């Protein structure tokens, strides 16, 4: 009897430990590993030379007063190439303005400003404005961790969402593939339409 | 044939030992290979520091900050362009006279707590930092209880101490012969 009660403590401890392990592994995390603390905050200040129109600038002020997307891309990035066609189709609908940051397209990454211009010339330009951020200045402020990355910005210039990886416009994204669902243009546009129908502000988590 | 069986056994044993030796050498090589990138992985930036103290601070900080591009290493050990930009940012902020905490804060507001290898001490992390300290008194208490119990047992069952009996002595002599 005494030995049994003595064994009870470590056994219950181990059971508790496994329970915690299970919760940690199987509970759907509210925060994804690539969730950014930037979400919900105002987009950072930045002021970049316009890639195309010399002398013009692309800055924080361009993002006020409308719901928009800010796409981060580079010519050395193969997924950006795959995403470009998707962006062209989205831009053709005219539903949401897309801005972009041409990020670290510098020789030591295997890109250049010329390559970026050639890219837009050949493949088409889905962007209202593109900032030239060859030196990763705005990139550090926006906490860009890789290309492609897309930010959803509300009417006040707040970051509603940060989408890492290429966007897709599959009619039915594979529900097993979390990234494919999250990066699906159809799903993103549902959010955009809801925002535009309201006051244009970021939707809260539960709506 | 007990003799040839014995020899066979020896041969088998020798084979086994040689295999083990080979495995061991392989392991040593593997360890060397694993070690090599660690010693070679110090990316070269030509940064100039005014004082040794500043250089030490810089080295400490880049050790603590995670590379957000290649997330299983710090920015000191990564050759990613982004890690280099981050090292330069640390350097730049140090030049501006920012404190270590301010520099860490710059990273945390952008990339989250995840970016620091050493979690900061704050309201949300007290359990993480405090648990080991809490467990020390718990362990000490358990040890005390156990020791006390043993002492009680020891006094209850009086141990047999004393000279050996004649037969016991005989047995002992036999064994030690």
Residue numbers in B near A35 (CB within 8 A) = 112
Beta-carbon separation of A136 and B81 below 8 A: yes
- The torsion of the CA quartet A69, A133, A37, B80, rounded to 10 degrees, works out to 130
Question: Which DSSP symbol is given to A14?
Answer: H
* Residue-wise pLDDT tens digits, A186-200: 999 999 999 999 999
CA distance B3 to A148: 74
CA distance B70 to B36: 19
- Identify the CATH class of A37-197: alpha beta
Q: In chain A, whose CA is at the least distance from the CA of B87?
A: A140
B162 to B151, B158, B159, B165, B168: CA distances (angstroms): 20, 12, 10, 9, 12
Is residue A137 classed exposed, middle or buried when 0-12, 13-18 and 19+ CB atoms within 10 A define those classes?
middle
| A 131-160 → B contacts, CB under 8 A | 136, 139-141, 143, 145-146
The upper half-sphere exposure of residue A176, i.e. CA atoms within 13 Å in the direction of its Cβ, equals: 0
Q: What count of CB pairs under 8 Å joins A to B?
A: 32
pLDDT at site B168: 85
Q: Could you state, in order of their start, the residue ranges of all structural domains in chain A?
A: 37-197
Does any CB of chain A come closer than 8 Å to the CB of residue B57? no
Q: Give A31 or A69, the one with higher predicted confidence.
A: A69
ipTM over 0.85: no
Angle, to 10 degrees, between the axis of helix B100-111 and the axis of helix B81-95?
140
Does any CB of chain A come closer than 8 Å to the CB of residue B112? yes
- The torsion of the CA quartet A72, A74, A80, A83, rounded to 10 degrees, works out to 50
pLDDT at site A50: 96
Q: Is the pLDDT of residue A30 over 60?
A: no
Residue numbers in B near A146 (CB within 8 A) = 69, 82
CA distance B65 to B41: 16
Which of A37, A109, A146 lies closest to B109 in CB terms? A37
CA distance B8 to B14: 10
Mutate to test the interface with B, among A17, A77, A136 (most CBs of B within 10 A): A136
Q: Place B37 in a pLDDT band, splitting at 50, 70 and 90.
A: low
Do A141 and A68 meet the contact criterion of CB atoms below 8 Å apart? no
Q: Place B127 in a pLDDT band, splitting at 50, 70 and 90.
A: confident
Q: In chain B, whose CA is at the least distance from the CA of A39?
A: B110
Q: Which residues lie closer than 8 Å to B69 by C-beta, 6 or more apart?
A: A145, A146, B78, B80, B81, B82, B83
Mutate to test the interface with A, among B112, B149, B153 (most CBs of A within 10 A): B112
A170 to A111, A181, A185: CA distances (angstroms): 29, 9, 8
Residue numbers in B near A143 (CB within 8 A) = 68, 110-111
Q: Is the pLDDT of residue B78 over 50?
A: yes
Q: What beta strand segments (E) does A87-207 contain?
A: 98-103, 130-133, 149-153, 159-164
For residue B152, count other CB atoms closer than 10 A to its CB: 10
Beta-carbon separation of B110 and A140 below 8 A: yes
Closest residue by Cα to residue B78 from B50, B41, B106, B105: B41
Q: Place B23 in a pLDDT band, splitting at 50, 70 and 90.
A: confident
Q: In chain A, whose CA is at the least distance from the CA of B112?
A: A37
Where on the phi/psi map is residue A106: left (φ > 0), alpha (ψ -120 to 50), or beta? beta
Closest residue by Cα to residue A104 from A84, A80, A68: A80
CA distance A95 to A90: 8
Beta-carbon separation of A136 and B112 below 8 A: no
Q: What is the average pLDDT score of chain A?
A: 90
Handedness of CA A155, A164, A104, B47 (dihedral sign): positive
Pairing type for strands A98-103 and A68-73 reads parallel
Question: Which DSSP symbol is given to A150?
Answer: E
Task: Count each helix (H run) and each strand (E run) in chain A, helices first.
Answer: 6, 7
Minimal C-alpha gap between B68 and chain A (Å): 6
Beta-carbon separation of A38 and B82 below 8 A: no
Beta-carbon separation of A36 and B109 below 8 A: no
Q: In chain B, whose CA is at the least distance from the CA of A139?
A: B82
| SS3 state at A192 | helix
Which of B81, B111, B112 lies closest to A109 in CB terms? B81
Beta-carbon separation of B69 and A145 below 8 A: yes
* Residue-wise pLDDT tens digits, A156-167: 999 999 999 999
CA distance B140 to A67: 60
pLDDT at site B12: 77
pLDDT at site B9: 74
Output helix, strand, coil percentages for chain A, rounded to the nearest 5.
40, 20, 40
Which of A37, A109, A146 lies closest to B110 in CB terms? A37
* Residue-wise pLDDT tens digits, A93-103: 999 999 999 99
Nearest 5°: the CA angle A144, A150, A156 is 95
Mean pLDDT over B61-80 rounds to 90
Minimal C-alpha gap between A171 and chain B (Å): 31
Q: Place B11 in a pLDDT band, splitting at 50, 70 and 90.
A: confident
Does any CB of chain A come closer than 8 Å to the CB of residue B81? yes
């Amino acid at each position: 009897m005494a030995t049994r009660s003595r064994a009870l403590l470590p056994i219950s401890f181990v059971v508790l430990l496994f329970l915690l392990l299970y919760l940690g592994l199987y509970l759907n995390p509210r925060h994804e590993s690539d969730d950014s603390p930037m979400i919900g905050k105002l987009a950072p200040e930045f002021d970049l030379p316009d890639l195309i129109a010399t002398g013009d600038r692309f800055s924080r002020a361009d993002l006020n007063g409308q719901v928009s997307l800010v796409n981060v891309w580079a010519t050395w990035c193969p997924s950006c190439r795959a995403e470009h066609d998707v962006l062209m189709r989205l831009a053709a609908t005219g539903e949401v303005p897309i801005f972009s940051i041409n990020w670290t397209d510098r020789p030591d990454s295997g890109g250049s400003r010329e390559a970026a211009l050639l890219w837009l010339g050949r493949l088409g330009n889905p962007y209202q404005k593109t900032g030239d951020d060859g030196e990763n200045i705005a990139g550090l402020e926006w906490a860009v961790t890789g290309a492609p990355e897309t930010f959803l910005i509300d009417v006040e210039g707040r970051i509603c969402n940060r989408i890492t990886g290429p966007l897709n416009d599959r009619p039915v994204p594979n529900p097993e593939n979390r990234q494919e669902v999250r990066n699906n243009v159809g799903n993103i546009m549902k959010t955009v339409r809801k925002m535009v129908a309201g006051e244009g502000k970021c939707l809260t988590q539960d709506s | 044939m007990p003799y040839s069986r014995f020899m066979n056994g020896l041969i088998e044993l020798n084979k086994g030992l040689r295999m083990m030796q080979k495995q061991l050498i392989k392991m040593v090589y593997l360890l060397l290979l694993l070690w090599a990138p660690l010693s070679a992985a110090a990316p070269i930036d030509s940064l100039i520091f005014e004082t040794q103290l500043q250089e030490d601070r810089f080295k400490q900080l880049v050790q603590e900050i995670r590379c957000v591009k290649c997330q299983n290493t710090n920015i000191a050990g990564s050759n990613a362009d982004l890690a280099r930009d981050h090292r330069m940012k640390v350097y730049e902020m140090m030049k501006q006279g920012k404190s270590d905490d301010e520099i860490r804060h710059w990273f945390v507001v952008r990339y989250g707590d995840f970016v620091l290898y050493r979690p900061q001490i704050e309201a949300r992390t007290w359990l993480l930092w405090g648990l080991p300290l809490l467990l020390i008194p718990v362990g000490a208490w358990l040890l005390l209880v156990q020791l006390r119990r043993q002492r009680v047992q020891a006094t209850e069952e009086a141990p047999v101490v004393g000279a050996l009996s004649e037969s016991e002595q005989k047995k002992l002599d036999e064994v030690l012969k």
